[in-house]
Amino acid sequence: MEALNHPSSEDLSSYALQALDPNEAQSVAEHLLTCQECRQQLKAYSAVADGLLFAVPPKTPPAQLRSSLEARIAAGRPVAAPPRRGFRFSIFQAALGAAVVVLLAVTAYLAYQVNDLKQQQQALLQLLQQNQTSLALISQLGVSVIPLQTNQVAGNIVISPDGQNGVLFVHGLSPLDPNHTYQVWLIPASGSPQSAGVFQVPQNQSTSYLSIRSPVPIQDFSNIGITVEPSGGSQAPTTEPILLDNI
Ligand SMILES: [Zn+2]
C-alpha cells in the first residue's frame, strides 16, 4: 500500500531540501525504502538541491522554508499544495524547474545516444552492402579482391581483370583537418613508392573509397600503403604509414 502512495513531487523536492517536518520526512523516508521510482526522482531533486544550497547563502533559505511549512502544517493546510508567490517558494519552483531541466537534459542525452547508435548501425549496413557489392563484382566480372587489415584500419581493394583499375575501400579512418589528406601508395618490391591518389574522409562517414589507375597491374606491386600528407599530396611518403599491407 505504501509503495502505491507516492509522495507528491513537491514533498520529494522539499525532502531533498530537508524542508519537511520530521513526521513528514519520516513517512517519505519509509516510502523511499519501498519505491525505486521515488528514489530515482529524489536523486535528481537532490542533485539540484545541492546546487541550490551551494548557490544561495547557507542556512537561511532552508530555515525559512522549514518555518513556513511548519506554520502551514500547524494551520492544518495541506503541505503538498505550494502557494504561488513569495521568496520562500521561489526556491521550490527553482528546484522543480531545475529538476525538470535536468530530466529533460537526461532524456535528450539518451535520445542522442540512441540516434548515434542508429547512425552506427546505418554505417555498418552500408559497409555490408558495399562488401556484398564487391563480392558480386568478383563473381560476375572476374575481378579480384584483396583484404587489407591493420590494427586500426580495415578495407579491401577490388582489382579489375587486367589489374590496371582498382577501387580501394577503407573503413575506420578519422576525418582530417582541411590542411591534410590521406595518400595511397603502391610500393614495388624494389624502388620508390608510387602515389595512387589522395582522398578525404568526410565527417560522419566511416568508409572511404579511392579509384586507382595503374599503368602496370596493381598485383605487380608488393605492398599498398596509406599515409597522412599535406593537402594535395606529396611526391613521396613523409609520415609513417597508417596502413601497410601486402597485395
Ligand atoms: Zn513512490
- Give the model confidence (pLDDT) of 84-117 as tens digits: 444 444 555 555 555 555 555 555 556 666 666 6
- 18 CA to centre of ligand 1 in angstroms: 18
- Residue 220 scores a pLDDT above 80: yes
- Residue 57 scores a pLDDT above 60: no
Once rounded to an integer, what is the mean pLDDT over residues 199-228? 86
- Residue 54 scores a pLDDT above 80: no
Sheet holding 165-171, edge to edge: 144-149, 154-159, 165-171, 207-213
Phi, psi of 195 (to 5 degrees): -65, 135
pLDDT at 194: 95
CB atoms within 10 A of CB 239: 13
pLDDT at 92: 53
Exposure letters 82-116 (e unless 16+ CB within 10 A, then b): beeeeebbebbebbbebbeebeeeeeeeeeeeeee
- 95 CA to centre of ligand 1 in angstroms: 19
Q: What is the pLDDT of residues 6-44, one digit of tens each?
A: 988 878 877 877 778 888 899 999 999 999 989 988 887
CA-to-CA distance for 170 and 41, rounded, in angstroms?
Answer: 47
pLDDT at 130: 58
91-95, 140-144, 184-188, 229-233: segment of lowest average pLDDT: 91-95
Q: What average pLDDT does the structure give for the chain?
A: 73
- 43 CA to centre of ligand 1 in angstroms: 13
pLDDT at 116: 66
- 114 CA to centre of ligand 1 in angstroms: 28
Q: What's the pTM?
A: 0.45
- 239 CA to centre of ligand 1 in angstroms: 61
pLDDT at 85: 41
Stronger pLDDT, 144 or 246, i.e. the higher one: 246
Contact 164, 217 (CB under 8 A): yes
Stronger pLDDT, 98 or 246, i.e. the higher one: 246
